[in-house]
Amino acid sequence: MEHKQDAAISRQFVLPTLIFGLPEVRRLKRELESLDDFLRQSTIRDPGRQPQLPRLSRLCEALAAENGLNLLQEADRQQLQAFLGSLEGQAPTLHISFAADPSSAFTAKIVTWLRTQIHPYALLQVGLQPTIAAGCIVRTANKEFDLSLGQEFIKHENLLLQAFEAEAVLPVAQAAEAAPPQPTIPTAEVA
């Protein structure tokens, strides 16, 4: 099995953007295993009495198509299985928390960037953290990158303080200038 995995790793597989993270990888593995079982059982059955081939998921079809694999071939299935196994065990996983639940298109864009800029087999684990407000927090195996708006505010806190100080000086001068003259009551009215 390890030998097969090494062989799969040695070949450059393409990981479709639809496959975001580990849950998809595991689902693909299970699907591939069930397909493998079905095809093995079909060989045992009498010709013409085999049940209908199960329909593959969109992810599985995309993975096979992008890598030019025929899943009816056992060798291709084994290669893909080995690749998914190695992916499950070795692929770098990045946990990214957002303020809201991201859409698939948004996630796909992020995954595309990760696969092109960070690692071709990078997997994404999406988290939800409403306190972020805007931006995201990226957690790798060893580090945490706070790319949120709150962190940005903290970084530029001095600008805010400077603005406050500048604004605090102005109103005093303006108030002194704009202060209305004290109303004087005529002595006749007072009397």
Q: Which residues bind another protein (CB under 8 A)?
A: 92, 94, 98-100, 102-103, 105-106, 109-110, 113, 117-119, 122, 130-131, 133-136, 138, 140-143, 145, 147, 149-150, 153-154, 157, 160-161, 164
Q: Which residue number, 32 or 122, has a Cβ lying nearer to another protein? A: 122
Shortest spacing between CB 119 and another protein, in angstroms: 6
Q: Which residue number, 29 or 119, has a Cβ lying nearer to another protein? A: 119
CB 131 within 8 A of CB 26: no
Reading the block at residue 100, the tokens are 């809201």
Q: Which residue number, 80 or 136, has a Cβ lying nearer to another protein? A: 136
Shortest spacing between CB 166 and another protein, in angstroms: 13
Shortest spacing between CB 63 and another protein, in angstroms: 22
Q: Which residue number, 53 or 159, has a Cβ lying nearer to another protein? A: 159
Distance CA 135, CA 145 (A): 11
CB 127 within 8 A of CB 96: yes
Distance CA 97, CA 161 (A): 29
CA atoms within 13 A on the CB side of 60: 20
Shortest spacing between CB 16 and another protein, in angstroms: 20
